[in-house]
Structure 1
């Protein structure tokens, strides 16, 4: 039954200490998807005995080091079922030192839940340069996420006052509207973790709020059309590969396009490995057929786990097989508040789907300046400019054109912990098979 349910991946975003892990853990607990044995073990932890609220946090933060340090360090998942939909809850770190894990979680999320604080000082601190929330927010914009929910936490700390809630709603709406995001369809949900208010049930503390609870809001997100994704050639993004004793090599990732079945042969890129899929799993359920949206682990034959790395793509052999690229052209948009210039022969850190890599600008063409809206052939880009920019990666890389595979054809450029440009890949120059290592 589990494999027949529609699957949505929900990623919780917010600065460190805003309550992302606790909220996702509360959803698991409220919907009775937490194992009694796991809860019993968590309750024995000395940190939980000192601070009982950590019980829900530890449902998502499972590593010993995470629990001892009381901070999320890796992207982790749990799953719940609401009516006829299965939701994969994605918990990500809120600190910049774990940006690789953060990026994977954001890439895999179909629904974005922003976790904000009703306490004004705490809310404003989320957007300071030394926090990661603004970068998380901008990466969501670059990856063109469609479904947003905002939860406004800490309502108990502001005595459940509506004007504190309304201030955050108005201010954050303005930030979203700068990127042409329609906020009319976004639910802003005031919550309190003290009594799990507005997670699944409502309590009398906020009678002025007439909207849905968080779980109701998740259930109201419409299903995306899967059929056009299924008809495309197979594309699976891999974020990790592990070895399980007695089973062998297991690749972990998200199926983005096409379908995958056991006993199917796959081709990998940028290094052209080949392998047979022996079995497929999602959340410890075996699958006879994986479809777009599934976060899966699949057992591979005749491959060592160290050969497959984060950012690798795989496809089938016959239909548009994946290949390494030598260069690619991006329709690039520079943010309006950027102070630095973009020049040919300079290197920048580009964020792709789940990886980031240094790339060199080889050519700039068809520049459109915000000052005069004329197409120019300038070799320098400044704030607000748009242009076609050709990049060359410094290491082996596989990307796709946005028009063919939208999820794999978007990039963001990050410098000094903030996004300075983003765009869509319009052309890819692929290496011939005999040129690939």
Structure 2
């Protein structure tokens, strides 16, 4: 693994806005893909008459290879820039992927948002049903503040490479991001043509009017988030493998604290304790893992069936909280009618997704001030903010946002859509015995 500092990157945006092509191009330009893989993808694309999608084919090819192999960290793709070593967390844009995006975004340090400049495509991404809007809202909730907005397909803008169209797209996105509280000094906009690589790693002769950074330069301008090493260990589990000759290997990303070989840890909400035998990341053995590390670790005393995605690991001396009930500040992003007590959406928090029942609407908040506007309203509607109490239907590991941000922000999903987003103010824990 590279000695350069490491950042996790997520690529988000509406379906067909050019995410795969952009990532394929970036990986190729940075020399991550070998000639053979590139040739094969080009031939496959040509056969199907989809020459312009060869980079997307490359990614599909990589995905298939990853799905066949059982190596631990294959949902991730890696590349280096002058300054950083990046892991790309894949987040495709179809509806059902929003769930994956929620768990993916909670592991990312920065995002590339792909937005198509093509007439009609941009507009549909920003419509009420559009994923450009939804992904921006989710990125903010998941604590992603560093965003590079890649305005793609500039070659098919009308007219091609039109600065006016670029500005129109940029201003619309900017206004929307501002309204959700993004610090725009951490957001960059770049006009791009992925298929020719214009403004990806090399400057475009067709867009001389743009004098900002290329995508690669913008990636090098990202900042490493501070590592919460002094906080207690929290590691949400993403997958669990059983590897012959090794044993049980849970996989996840350290969100806070440090895990060392030999540590006594506990998996919550199961309450199962174990000892860490070994830790590895990208096939490199580690003595200890810190916040931001995507790791696989081997545990003594645990069976694969004892652990599942959504569990959280901590030290036995400071176990993660399991909520009997929790209070959160939420925003209703989309709902056809209204939310009342008894409403039970699926709450997606870190890598867990559990149905949670609204047990009380404590107060409706004034959107301008964030202060209480009405105590115990009967219901809340789209666009409104409120303080709400939830009761998880099954045991759920969560923490207060102020203590552990990554375990304290969530999205609510229902009917295949994101209904709302929230941050946890308070957790009423349930007692779990450590076995």
Normalised to the residue count of structure 2, the TM-score between the two structures is: 0.88
CA shift for structure 1 position 35: 4.0
Asked if the contact 1:331–1:387 (Cα under 8 Å) also holds between the matched residues in 2, the reply is yes
Inter-partner Cα distance in structure 1 for 2:36 and 2:312: 37
Alignment of 1:60-209 (within 5 A): 60-61=59-60, 62-64=62-64, 76-128=75-127, 131-158=130-157, 159-209=160-210
- Note the residue ranges of structure 1 that are not aligned, 5 or more in a row: 68-73
Asked if the contact 2:325–2:391 (Cα under 8 Å) also holds between the matched residues in 1, the reply is yes
Asked if the contact 1:369–1:384 (Cα under 8 Å) also holds between the matched residues in 2, the reply is no
CA distance 1:347–1:430, shift in 2 (3 Å):
same
CA distance 1:48–1:267, shift in 2 (3 Å):
farther
Aligned to 1:259: 258
Aligned to 1:359: 356
Inter-partner Cα distance in structure 1 for 2:283 and 2:39: 21
Aligned residues: 424
Inter-partner Cα distance in structure 2 for 1:433 and 1:194: 54
Inter-partner Cα distance in structure 1 for 2:119 and 2:346: 33
CA distance 1:393–1:194, shift in 2 (3 Å):
same
SS state at 2:259 partner: coil
Aligned to 2:6: 7
RMSD between superposed Cα atoms in Å: 2.8
Asked if the contact 1:239–1:252 (Cα under 8 Å) also holds between the matched residues in 2, the reply is yes
Inter-partner Cα distance in structure 1 for 2:407 and 2:25: 32
Alignment of 1:297-316 (within 5 A): 297-316=296-315
Inter-partner Cα distance in structure 1 for 2:36 and 2:305: 33
CA shift for structure 1 position 117: 0.8
SS state at 1:29 partner: helix
CA shift for structure 1 position 254: 0.9
Asked if the contact 1:60–1:77 (Cα under 8 Å) also holds between the matched residues in 2, the reply is no
CA distance 1:84–1:247, shift in 2 (3 Å):
farther
Inter-partner Cα distance in structure 1 for 2:194 and 2:261: 43
Inter-partner Cα distance in structure 2 for 1:370 and 1:156: 40
Normalised to the residue count of structure 1, the TM-score between the two structures is: 0.88
Inter-partner Cα distance in structure 1 for 2:10 and 2:80: 16
Aligned to 2:70: none
- Note the residue ranges of structure 2 that are not aligned, 5 or more in a row: 68-72
CA shift for structure 1 position 256: 0.6
CA shift for structure 1 position 41: 5.6
CA shift for structure 1 position 280: 1.9
